[in-house]
A and B are shown apart, each in its own frame.
Chain A
């Protein structure tokens, strides 16, 4: 029903408008809303039946009235014009230029709600991305085509971590087209400026496309912002053979916008008022990461979300964790102890790590070394908890050794400067340094042949069987 206009609205409720007398608006169709004063806003059909269409307005509903506002059904679903020119540009949350540059004009129009990739056509992500961060490369390796969120909380330096990854990320031995798509979802202008400055300083701004929906912008735009970013990323990846890193921050704001619409529609809520389809909706965003057989590019996602009240069981981090391939969790205690970045390695995880590491990718001992470090760190943390009660003196010799490993692990391995870029060899070597204080029988996760080949001996015992 291309370009049919309706003169009146029946009802305005929150971000939704109800248009009567519409017979065949299609589901998902874009709508242009014209206010009495001539101002135009965009919307999308959420529910359509004969005689009534419910339209979600992107932007505020300030100034809308039921008599003078007209709506035009545009006859097409949401699309984005895409082109190579998008790199180096800044757009608002609806995809309009924000940098005084020209509008993107292109014959290539992509559907915003991408079709799902056929699982059969996917290629298994297996290219190791060296981020230069020991806690990621060594313990929770990132690979191309992965979606690895950062679970953070207010007041923690997740932006620094994300920008450091964006600056340092490289695939070993590969000189390829690399670009970044950045989606700001309801973050402050300060945070957005931080990222822009980082991109500028590292000289990567000209291969970055930015979509900015700031906290002062209408919350309904946030539904579209990540999809604009991902549509751009898919275009760059699959049509232009780029390896695209998509940073989306903050997904918590996206979920809140979704809850707002759900509440306005008077839907039956799931947990904490979030709609029952939050999982499906988030999946439609996160699942757009990946690689496709026979195509060169890839989409790697690094979403950032802040956990309300540091609660990892909150529906947003919880559902995200079930969809994404792992998570990097930031921890307030480590932050207070001045471990930077304060990544809690124990609760972090990369599900695709095994595909990206090992012989020919990183090194043969990587998996087992990481497992051993995990186990030793966990045991050392237990010893620390114990020492808090009974005093360090009452610990067994073994516990004391693990306590040292745990302390060193945080101070030397996880802790690293914002400009420190460690190679994977440095990271692994650092790992073996930490284990040097343990004897061979305590290294139960590592095959004897690797211990023989890589273990470092210290003068104070270490790998000494008869202590």
Chain B
């Protein structure tokens, strides 16, 4: 048998010859440095390999070793709070071992191999167990209990289980069924294969984010999928980060895919300091970060979203609600295009490979709210939010279009809004959420009976505003009749006092759904009263000068516990002032 060697190198793609018995997507180590790569095309004994690290300095003739295992990752306690690159190498350990610049050919285990975890069985020896059943728990962080599950294809009698301290590589139990299968504290999974579930459920609960424009107008369901396309500078990344900070899910997986180094650094330095509003613990204790910045190797960028989603699925299987943010899927698609180009494949639209749509659909299909595989009814959800960066802000390009086909929520970021610093710059006219009907009942029973109506009313006013704006463009504002001016006032109030939300203000950054309801009803109430007095002969200018009008913007800066007092003040002031106006006008 001849040893496998490199035959050709071109950028991130290498060709190996004499690679016998190789399978598609097997991971190989190439060259003297042992760079990691993955087989993406086979012809006889010749394999094309995408290399996850920079190939500078590799030579034809250097050796290639097949690990004979597809790209897989270790799943177990210690994933949370970690920061990985696209192929699950912990960046903090990498920095400690090889310095500030990423050096090549380093293999570092994803999980701390030495740390001993307190293993607490919930099942005992002799119990009959089935696939997916939870046999033990490990307190992974103060927030999250890590559940140790029976592998998918194993069932039988549980043996050798006992409380104790174990490392991730230790055997913690076994299952006897004719033959004996060991269960470790951690397990392995191939990242390109979705983890199976029993069945998927209807998306009828919202994933609350504390962001008013999202929760009120365009909510995404738990287990749902959303796309945020937008040109650069329109606030995609801030929106994603706000979601990661405030979404009411148990676990957050944040994938920085081909993004800026300084931005990832901001995430890395901010997340550990952020405190979860409910548990008062650092958010990092429920977060996994995957950071593959734009200058890190392109093939690892391609792998990063699979690395991220596999970890998400793993926690979903434990019964947690997981929210995954991928910023940005366009960079992932570009990685796909770059590798496809090096393989000299026939391109589809704009040079993207013909399988772009399929790959995107497969990715989003891995989300959902599901009954996971387990003898007891266990629910978990995996919500996916993908940022898309369309070139030139043009949504007709292939990545945006293929994403919109498979996601049900569209948060359209608008450069015009961003330019005038209306943040979050989500356009209320073009965005949509197809989950609203499924979730109406939830809102009615958990927020308020009039919620759906309020939302509809507010959207109608905004719609009306855009029509009126066209008229204003033609005839001027002064030529508008007073009732129309009143509508413009209310629309402006909705835009400025409600939809605009500062991610950087302590109070404004998060608004509970209850506060949202109170704010929106106050604004609309003011609008109704305005319409009333205008009918009686008053003017929009007079209403605009009211003291209560000036109090409405204060709502968003007011802490939730002080809100009640402010609302009482606004309401009584409003009542008094409008009564006076209405008397004046009718005289």
In the complex with contacts A50-B61, A315-B391, A441-B544, A125-B262 CB distance below 8 A: yes
Mark out the residues of chain B between 244 and 291 whose CB falls within 8 Å of any chain A CB in the assembled complex: 256, 258, 260-266, 268-269, 291
Residues of B close to A183: CB separation below 8 A: none
In the complex with contacts A119-B265, A120-B95, A325-B263, A280-B334 CB distance below 8 A: yes
Among B54, B268, B350, the residue within 8 A (CB) of A271 is: B350
Instruction: Assess whether A117 is in contact with B261, with CB atoms less than 8 Å apart.
Output: yes
Instruction: Assess whether A24 is in contact with B232, with CB atoms less than 8 Å apart.
Output: no
Instruction: Assess whether A395 is in contact with B293, with CB atoms less than 8 Å apart.
Output: no
CA distance A113 to B297 in the complex (A): 13
CA distance A1 to B60 in the complex (A): 11
Instruction: Assess whether B337 is in contact with A284, with CB atoms less than 8 Å apart.
Output: no
Among A48, A324, A326, the residue within 8 A (CB) of B9 is: A48
**Residue B529 lies at the interface, judged by CB distance under 8 Å to chain A:** no
**Residue B233 lies at the interface, judged by CB distance under 8 Å to chain A:** yes
Instruction: Assess whether B338 is in contact with A389, with CB atoms less than 8 Å apart.
Output: no
In the complex with contacts A318-B232, A322-B389, A394-B476, A115-B101 CB distance below 8 A: yes
Instruction: Assess whether B295 is in contact with A321, with CB atoms less than 8 Å apart.
Output: no
One digit per residue, 1 when the CB lies within 8 angstroms of any chain A CB and 0 when it does not, for chain B 375-400 equals: 00000000000000101111000000
CA distance A259 to B434 in the complex (A): 43
One digit per residue, 1 when the CB lies within 8 angstroms of any chain B CB and 0 when it does not, for chain A 267-302 equals: 111110001110110011001111011010000000
Instruction: Assess whether B9 is in contact with A27, with CB atoms less than 8 Å apart.
Output: yes
In the complex with contacts A26-B58, A318-B391, A441-B550, A48-B351 CB distance below 8 A: no
For the complex formed, measure the closest distance between the CB of A301 and the CB atoms of chain B, giving whole angstroms.
11
CA distance A117 to B391 in the complex (A): 26
Residues of A close to B587: CB separation below 8 A: none
For the complex formed, measure the closest distance between the CB of B26 and the CB atoms of chain A, giving whole angstroms.
22
**Residue B67 lies at the interface, judged by CB distance under 8 Å to chain A:** no
Instruction: Assess whether A447 is in contact with B59, with CB atoms less than 8 Å apart.
Output: no
Residues of A close to B293: CB separation below 8 A: 116, 119, 283, 287
Residues of A close to B176: CB separation below 8 A: none
Residues of B close to A367: CB separation below 8 A: 504
Interface centre among B94, B233, B347, B504 (most CB of A within 10 A): B233
A28, closest chain B residue (CB): B56
CA distance A146 to B262 in the complex (A): 8
Instruction: Assess whether A467 is in contact with B545, with CB atoms less than 8 Å apart.
Output: yes
**Residue B122 lies at the interface, judged by CB distance under 8 Å to chain A:** no
**Residue A440 lies at the interface, judged by CB distance under 8 Å to chain B:** yes
Residues of B close to A466: CB separation below 8 A: 545
CA distance A298 to B394 in the complex (A): 35
Instruction: Assess whether A24 is in contact with B294, with CB atoms less than 8 Å apart.
Output: no
**Residue A390 lies at the interface, judged by CB distance under 8 Å to chain B:** yes
A238, closest chain B residue (CB): B100
Residues of A close to B58: CB separation below 8 A: 26-27
**Residue A354 lies at the interface, judged by CB distance under 8 Å to chain B:** yes
Instruction: Assess whether B101 is in contact with A440, with CB atoms less than 8 Å apart.
Output: no
Among A268, A290, A370, A394, the residue within 8 A (CB) of B341 is: A268
In the complex with contacts A23-B61, A119-B293, A268-B344 CB distance below 8 A: yes
In the complex with contacts A321-B232, A354-B504, A374-B421, A118-B496 CB distance below 8 A: no
CA distance A389 to B470 in the complex (A): 12
Mark out the residues of chain A between 284 and 343 whose CB falls within 8 Å of any chain B CB in the assembled complex: 284, 287-290, 292-293, 295, 312-315, 318-319, 321-327
One digit per residue, 1 when the CB lies within 8 angstroms of any chain B CB and 0 when it does not, for chain A 238-267 equals: 000000000000000000000000000001
Interface centre among A47, A312, A396 (most CB of B within 10 A): A396
Number of interface residues of A (CB under 8 A): 94
CA distance A399 to B393 in the complex (A): 29
Instruction: Assess whether B59 is in contact with A25, with CB atoms less than 8 Å apart.
Output: yes
**Residue A217 lies at the interface, judged by CB distance under 8 Å to chain B:** no
B335, closest chain A residue (CB): A280
Instruction: Assess whether B100 is in contact with A121, with CB atoms less than 8 Å apart.
Output: yes
For the complex formed, measure the closest distance between the CB of A330 and the CB atoms of chain B, giving whole angstroms.
15
Residues of A close to B7: CB separation below 8 A: 49-50
Residues of A close to B10: CB separation below 8 A: 27, 46-48
Among B101, B263, B393, the residue within 8 A (CB) of A118 is: B101
**Residue A379 lies at the interface, judged by CB distance under 8 Å to chain B:** yes
**Residue B15 lies at the interface, judged by CB distance under 8 Å to chain A:** yes
**Residue A448 lies at the interface, judged by CB distance under 8 Å to chain B:** yes
CA distance A276 to B554 in the complex (A): 49
Instruction: Assess whether A292 is in contact with B291, with CB atoms less than 8 Å apart.
Output: no
Residues of A close to B83: CB separation below 8 A: 119-120
For the complex formed, measure the closest distance between the CB of B341 and the CB atoms of chain A, giving whole angstroms.
5
CA distance A288 to B351 in the complex (A): 28
Residues of A close to B350: CB separation below 8 A: 270-271
Instruction: Assess whether A290 is in contact with B476, with CB atoms less than 8 Å apart.
Output: no
For the complex formed, measure the closest distance between the CB of A399 and the CB atoms of chain B, giving whole angstroms.
6
CA distance A146 to B260 in the complex (A): 11
CA distance A136 to B88 in the complex (A): 39
**Residue A13 lies at the interface, judged by CB distance under 8 Å to chain B:** no
For the complex formed, measure the closest distance between the CB of B343 and the CB atoms of chain A, giving whole angstroms.
10
Instruction: Assess whether B262 is in contact with A124, with CB atoms less than 8 Å apart.
Output: yes
For the complex formed, measure the closest distance between the CB of A390 and the CB atoms of chain B, giving whole angstroms.
4
Residues of A close to B232: CB separation below 8 A: 318, 321-322
For the complex formed, measure the closest distance between the CB of A401 and the CB atoms of chain B, giving whole angstroms.
13
**Residue A355 lies at the interface, judged by CB distance under 8 Å to chain B:** yes
In the complex with contacts A27-B58, A378-B419, A268-B347 CB distance below 8 A: yes
Instruction: Assess whether B474 is in contact with A49, with CB atoms less than 8 Å apart.
Output: no
One digit per residue, 1 when the CB lies within 8 angstroms of any chain A CB and 0 when it does not, for chain B 536-562 equals: 000001001101011001100100000
For the complex formed, measure the closest distance between the CB of A388 and the CB atoms of chain B, giving whole angstroms.
10
Interface centre among B83, B232, B549 (most CB of A within 10 A): B232
For the complex formed, measure the closest distance between the CB of A220 and the CB atoms of chain B, giving whole angstroms.
17
Among A29, A145, A318, A354, the residue within 8 A (CB) of B392 is: A318
A25, closest chain B residue (CB): B59
Instruction: Assess whether A122 is in contact with B497, with CB atoms less than 8 Å apart.
Output: no
CA distance A275 to B10 in the complex (A): 14
Residues of B close to A467: CB separation below 8 A: 545
A280, closest chain B residue (CB): B298
Mark out the residues of chain B between 278 and 335 whose CB falls within 8 Å of any chain A CB in the assembled complex: 291, 293-296, 298, 331, 334-335
For the complex formed, measure the closest distance between the CB of B498 and the CB atoms of chain A, giving whole angstroms.
11
Residues of B close to A440: CB separation below 8 A: 550
CA distance A390 to B347 in the complex (A): 51
B545, closest chain A residue (CB): A466
Interface stretch of the complex, out of A82-90, A155-163, A344-352, A452-460? A344-352
**Residue A12 lies at the interface, judged by CB distance under 8 Å to chain B:** no
Instruction: Assess whether B263 is in contact with A313, with CB atoms less than 8 Å apart.
Output: no
Residues of B close to A48: CB separation below 8 A: 8-10, 59-60
**Residue B1 lies at the interface, judged by CB distance under 8 Å to chain A:** no
The 3 closest A-B pairs by CB, nearest first: A313-B392, A378-B420, A49-B8
23 A-B pairs with CB atoms under 8 Å apart are A23-B61, A27-B58, A27-B59, A115-B54, A115-B101, A116-B295, A118-B101, A119-B256, A119-B264, A120-B291, A122-B261, A270-B350, A271-B391, A275-B341, A276-B338, A288-B295, A290-B265, A322-B232, A327-B233, A374-B420, A378-B421, A396-B478, A448-B554
Beyond A118-B94, A354-B504, A391-B476, 6 extra complex contacts between A and B, CB < 8 Å: A47-B10, A271-B391, A279-B294, A347-B233, A352-B262, A386-B473
